[in-house]
Structure formats: structure tokens, C-alpha cells
Structure 1
């Protein structure tokens, strides 16, 4: 899928951002439901005898569950990026996150569920960091990237003054939030020192009576309507399905799409190969000065080159790692 920059920018406009938050929250709820009752996972990529007996419908359901879990974690990261900029969010959107969706409570449930821990079919503990891997004995309490993002959002939503004045701590919320304390041990704090401030906050929370921690300000809120969902609801879906089926059954249309996509990939390949030729100045006796080499990632002056193909130069290891996903396809050529 190819996206234009201006299309991506529109995701952060006020109206669309509201629906993006709603979409992220919907997947948070889905993730909580998936981790309330965990079932052992099969990490063996080779189909077992049990797998071969599954019907196609069961295979699709298993694939769907795995895909939903992965997508939910990606949208968790998206929500974290939005909350990172809460100073720039409108009052309407911030109130929607804090009060309407009660994102802090959803995140607390994820931590308490230990949503990124499970067990395989042999009973071994496994952890999710973009993929399920077995946990080594010394890595049991290592803070994964998704768990760290959840703690970061909790810090912002519960301790930031702009959010705290909007969030009312009821008896139920007090009870649920205090469950986080058992997960906040020294090993976690050593990895994420900012969480130390939570300890004092928990102590203060225990002293409250489960009523409002802060006075609830008078707010006149104008809620942003979900324009995208409204348009989708008004769409003539039967007509869209009929048109799509007709196009997908048309050999001429499929041929046209294949040619367009082929041209796009050929253009990418051409630009990349030309870029590599421009960056390896000096290798064939042209512009042999050290200053002539440019980094294959950032185009700054480069000092090191790929030790394997010796074609592409980089200014540091970080740039080389960023370019590796694309470069490795051509590295051995």
C-alpha cells in the first residue's frame, strides 16, 4: 500500500484524530478481551498433527485472532504517540480520552492482565515483542516495549496536571488503579526510573476516600462527530460490492492494476540502484577522496561502508541498520 504524505497528515487533523483515537480504543478493548482468558500458544511454525485436522474455517479464525492481537498492539503504539502530545490536544479530544473512553482504566487492565505474557503448549513462559519468544530465566521481568508504552501513557494520564484535573477518582477506579502497585517492583523501576513518582502517587491514593481527587471543573464540551463513520454508514454498500465484484472478475481491469503496480516497483528499484551508484564514489577510481562518499541513509559525509558488498557507505552504524531492510536485497548482488 502506497500512501501520500498529505494523506497521512490528514490523520492528525482534529476531526480525523478523534476517530483515530476511537479506533485505537476499540482495539484496546479487544486486546483486553483477548487476554482476560489466555490459551496456550503453538510457536512451532511447522503444522502439527492437530493443525492438519483443523478445518479451513478454524484456520482462518486462528489467523484472525493472531492478526487482531498484532494490530491491537500496533494501535496501542499509535495511541501512545497521540498522548505524548497531550499539550497540543484540544480540550474536547482530551476529555474524550480521559473521561469518555477512560483510557487510564483500560491500560490498568492491560497491565493487570499481563497482556504480553503467555505460555506455549509445553507450559514454557513466552513473551510478545512483535513476535512470541520463550522467556529466558533472567529476562522474566525485562520491560517489553509495549508494556513500557502502557506505563508511559499511565504516567501522562494520571500524573500530568492537565489530565489530573479532568479525571475523577471514584471508589471503583481507586480499587482498580491500586492493583497496579503490585506490578511496580524495583526491577521495573530500574529500567524506567520515571515510574518512581508512581509510588508517592499510590501512597496518596490510599489516603483518599475514593471520591474526587480534584475538583471537577465546569466544562462546556462540544463533541466532535465521527464524520468518517457517518459517511461509511450512509454508503450504498450493496452497489459497492456489485461494482467491486464486476471489476475483480474483469481480466482487463486486473491486467491494468498489475501493470500499474509493476511500474511502481520498477521505479523504486531504478531509483535505489541509481542512488547506490551515486553513493559509491571513489570505489572505481572516481572521486577517490574520502569526502566524496555519502551516507546511504541520510546523505551526509560517510566514513564507513558495508563490509559485505563494499558498495554503500554510511556515516554510522545507526544509519546502516536503518537502511538494511532495503539494502540486503541488493547486498549480495
Structure 2
């Protein structure tokens, strides 16, 4: 049985055709919010098609109409907005928003775009259609992963679920919004791992500068080694009954003892990326393997256990490569005269807006993030339609898991409709941990319903 589509083909094509590169100053404008809604729906439809094994019309439309570079440009624009403008908005003393919904939508926009790119970048034609901006995307992913590594050794601790801030509630303060933005950064970094892996799958069909940037400019193999060492997608729960938890499908799940050595999707993406970058002939010829890099790569040998190789047999080739590397001096990379292309999006946006961050923040607070009551009601209605819970459930790649023990769940929290449990006992034992999230989501949904009733 096929899931009902979020978009019909004609609707999707119209949305893809309309995508454009908004200047940073116009972030949060009416046209920008309409495009955010379009991208959100395109993202949902792309996930739905990919998970159901259907024809991926969103991917085809984005390639046909040359809009993959547009998505990358907008991804970097909102990244800069979050770094340069959002902190200024949070410091404006006279900014007392009635609702943080509009701000949250901008903060969330970055996660939506990288999620869409993760879904479609599996395909070679998408990587090729990114053209020169694939270099900007590589730089973006590198920034996100190094930011993750520069955090504490335990890594950031994102919330169990994405939470929409409630309208007019004390919990929807700008401080709360900043915390949600930090939680989203962790999720974004996890998506970047997949995007990078897909790029490494297709280095032989992309411009030469891609391989150089991956291997020598950013030394991605060493970044991946450090990620395996830190393993930020794995943690121990707090308390006396400390359990191993792993981050999968956007949430932390407890892992039973018998599954603790089982490879997760994120583990797999890192190992496949390393395999591609170290063993593909086009990469081996370009990689500048010095003594430091050699020492870092040899750390991988301790992770290449029989259990791991049984799950990903191709890693035996990587094991042989490392064994050879341990007893030989790395051959110097071939020096070739190459006119290397460099990414320009980040620098051009920063140059264009340098010194104007406060003026941009004040302009956006006045025109975009201080909506009237009628505008808020209209926005709440549109967002409630966009984030329809029935549609969201069809996008889940797996059956829901119990929020307490990780087993397959059959019961949902009746209050917030956002957490699942396998039985009543798990629900009761998990209540103290779930209570705060439940209160936030319940209050947010209550406000949406109230605003929709008032509108009617």
C-alpha cells in the first residue's frame, strides 16, 4: 500500500521552479517564509518517495530545473544568519516578541535544507548538478563536523524530539530558542556525515578540486578518525541504571546489551567515507600522506574488529591497506599544476553584509519577527497544515520505538502525541524524563488550536 503523497507532481514542479536565492537581509520576509514552506513540503515528499522505494520525483525536478545550487546557497545564507544576525536579535533589549514561531522557522530552515540534501545526494546526478557549489557544500559540512568536535568530549546533548516553541509562553523565550538552535546543530552535523559520504561515492565524476578539497584542504579522513574516536552519536544515560544510548533516526535510543556492537547508520557512513577516500584510485593519487596523517590513520586499526568487518565486509580491504601503511613510508603525493576552484558563497555573503549585522537585525525584528495578532493566527494555521502529524508519521523510516527501553512501541502519549511506549510500565517509569518535553509540546499544540479557532 503506497503512502498518500504530500504533493502532486504539478504542485511540486511549481514549487521547485519558484525557488530563488534570497539575500540575507530578506530572511524572514513574506516571500522567504513561503519558500520555507515549499522546501519543507518538498523535503517531506522526497523522504516519502525514498523510504517507500518510489520514483523520486523531487530529486528529478531539482536536477532538471537546476535548483540544487539554489538550495546550497540558501543553506549557507541561513547558516550565516544564525551566526551573525540571530545573536544580535537575542540581545536587543526592546525586542519582546508575542511569539517565537517566526524566529524558530528561520532557525529550523537550515535543518530542513540539509535534510533534503541528505535525501537526494545519494544520487550521482544530484552531486553533478551541484556544479561549483559542491565545494561550498563540502566546506559547510567540514565546518559543522569540526564545530561538533570542538565541543566537549561528551558532545552536545540534543533533545529527544524537535520541539516547536509555544506562542506566548514563558518557555518560548529567546533563551529557550537559542538552546533549541544548539540542539538542531547536532542533528545538522549528523546529516552532514551522510552528505559527505555521498560526495565521496562520486569523486571520480566531479571536478578535480573536490578531491583536493576533501583530502588536502580539509583532510577529511583525519576528521573522520577523530569522529570515530569521540563517537558523538553514542552516550551513556545519566543515573544509577546508566544505559548505552545511540542516536538514530533523529533521537536517542537505549541499546540492548546484545546489540551494542551493532553498527549504526552513522558508523557506516563514516567507514564508507574512509573506504572511498583511502582506497579509490583517484583519491590515493591526490592524498598528501605525511607522517602525521599516517599516524592518525593507523589509529583505525584498533576499531577494525572481526565483529565490525562481519557487518561491512569491504572493510577487510581497508584493513589490508592500513597493515601495508604501518610497515611502509607513505609515498609523496604527485605534484600537478592545477588551477583549483575555490568556494565563494560564504565569503561573498559575509563581504556584502559586513558591518551591517545590527541594522539587518533591527530591520528584521521590525518587519518580520513582530507580526500582528492576525498574522500570527494565519501563520499558525499554515504551519499546522504543513506539519500535519498524520503526514509526519508516514515519513518515519522505522516503526516507533519505546522512549524508555527502545523496544518496538504500540502506545503513544495521549497528552502530547509525541512520545511512544511499548507498555504502561515504561510510560510511568519514563514520565519524569518526559514531563518537560510533554509540557512544551502540549502547550504549543494547544496554542495552535486556539489560534486556529479564533481565526475561524
Identify the residue that residue 221 of structure 1 maps to in structure 2. Answer: 339
2:286 to 159, 162, 166: 166
Deviation, structure 1 residue 242: 3.4
SS at match of 1:14: coil
User: 1:116 aligned to 2:233?
Assistant: yes
CA change 1:108–1:35 in 2 (3 A) is farther
Per-residue CA deviation, residues 188-223 of structure 1 (Å, 9 max, x unaligned), is 1111111110121111011113xx425423232323
User: 1:71 aligned to 2:183?
Assistant: no
CA change 1:9–1:58 in 2 (3 A) is closer
| TM-score (norm. length: structure 2) | 0.50
SS at match of 1:36: coil
Deviation, structure 1 residue 21: 0.9
Equivalent-residue separation in structure 2 for 1:44 and 1:13 (angstroms): 31
CA change 1:117–1:242 in 2 (3 A) is closer
User: 1:149 aligned to 2:266?
Assistant: no
Per-residue CA deviation, residues 66-103 of structure 1 (Å, 9 max, x unaligned), is 32211100111111122211111111122111100100
Q: Is the Cα–Cα contact under 8 Å of residues 124 and 134 in structure 1 kept in the other structure?
A: yes
User: 1:127 aligned to 2:246?
Assistant: yes
2:318 to 198, 217, 220: 198
Q: Please tell me the root mean square deviation across aligned C-alpha atoms, in Å.
A: 3.6
Q: Is the Cα–Cα contact under 8 Å of residues 141 and 189 in structure 2 kept in the other structure?
A: yes
Identify the residue that residue 348 of structure 2 maps to in structure 1. Answer: 230
Per-residue CA deviation, residues 230-279 of structure 1 (Å, 9 max, x unaligned), is 134312444433332222335399379749x749959x99xx9xxxxxxx
Equivalent-residue separation in structure 1 for 2:346 and 2:236 (angstroms): 39
Equivalent-residue separation in structure 1 for 2:311 and 2:146 (angstroms): 27
Q: For the pair shown, which has the larger CA radius of gyration, 1 or 2?
A: 1
Identify the residue that residue 101 of structure 1 maps to in structure 2. Answer: 218
1:169-180 alignment to 2 at 5 Å?
169-180=289-300
User: 1:9 aligned to 2:130?
Assistant: no
1:251 to 362, 372, 381: 372
Equivalenced residue count is: 258
Per-residue CA deviation, residues 283-324 of structure 1 (Å, 9 max, x unaligned), is xxxxxxxxxxxxxxxxxxxxxxxxxxxxxxxxxxxxxxxxxx
CA change 1:40–1:67 in 2 (3 A) is closer
Equivalent-residue separation in structure 1 for 2:289 and 2:228 (angstroms): 19
Q: Is the Cα–Cα contact under 8 Å of residues 287 and 333 in structure 2 kept in the other structure?
A: no
CA change 1:216–1:231 in 2 (3 A) is same
Q: Is the Cα–Cα contact under 8 Å of residues 164 and 214 in structure 1 kept in the other structure?
A: no
Deviation, structure 1 residue 110: 0.7
Deviation, structure 1 residue 63: 3.6
User: 1:23 aligned to 2:140?
Assistant: yes
Deviation, structure 1 residue 169: 1.6
Equivalent-residue separation in structure 2 for 1:59 and 1:219 (angstroms): 51
Equivalent-residue separation in structure 2 for 1:263 and 1:180 (angstroms): 46
Unaligned ranges ≥5, structure 1: 46-53, 273-333
Equivalent-residue separation in structure 2 for 1:61 and 1:258 (angstroms): 21
SS at match of 2:314: helix
Identify the residue that residue 207 of structure 2 maps to in structure 1. Answer: 90
Equivalent-residue separation in structure 2 for 1:41 and 1:228 (angstroms): 27
CA change 1:91–1:37 in 2 (3 A) is same
Deviation, structure 1 residue 125: 1.6
Q: Is the Cα–Cα contact under 8 Å of residues 247 and 253 in structure 1 kept in the other structure?
A: no
Unaligned ranges ≥5, structure 2: 1-35, 43-61, 73-128, 163-170, 392-456
Identify the residue that residue 126 of structure 2 maps to in structure 1. Answer: none
Instruction: Between the two structures, name the one with larger relative contact order (CA 8 Å, sep ≥ 6).
Output: 2
Equivalent-residue separation in structure 1 for 2:228 and 2:235 (angstroms): 13
Q: Is the Cα–Cα contact under 8 Å of residues 233 and 247 in structure 2 kept in the other structure?
A: yes
Identify the residue that residue 80 of structure 2 maps to in structure 1. Answer: none
